[in-house]
Amino acid sequence: MQTQRNLRKLVTRKQKNYVMTKSTPTLTQSGLLAVLLQRQHYKVIQLARRRAQRKHARAVLWSNLTWLLARAHSAIASRRFRRAFAGIVPRRT
């Protein structure tokens, strides 16, 4: 009798150890990994898009500035040229 009780106690103790507890699912199982990767991908694309927009805006600004400076420089240079050769080169009228 005593040994049977002891065996039952051992069996019930072992059964308690083998009872599955609810474990939290992993990132892959819960689908969170996919969401995190999508967000990261979206952020990378947004950063690249912003960088390209800034680069384009900078290029437009500098091309306009260089064009204006070239026009100003040519206007000043042509005035100097006309002043230097005012008496020598006749103007066309």
14, 35, 58 from 70: Cα distances, Å: 90, 52, 18
Specify the range with the lowest mean pLDDT, choosing from 37-41, 43-47, 79-83, 89-93.
89-93
Quote the pTM value.
0.47
What are the domain boundaries of the chain? 32-85
Q: How far apart are CA 78 and CA 44, in angstroms?
A: 51
User: For 37-64, what is each residue's pLDDT tens digit?
Assistant: 999 999 999 999 999 999 999 999 999 9
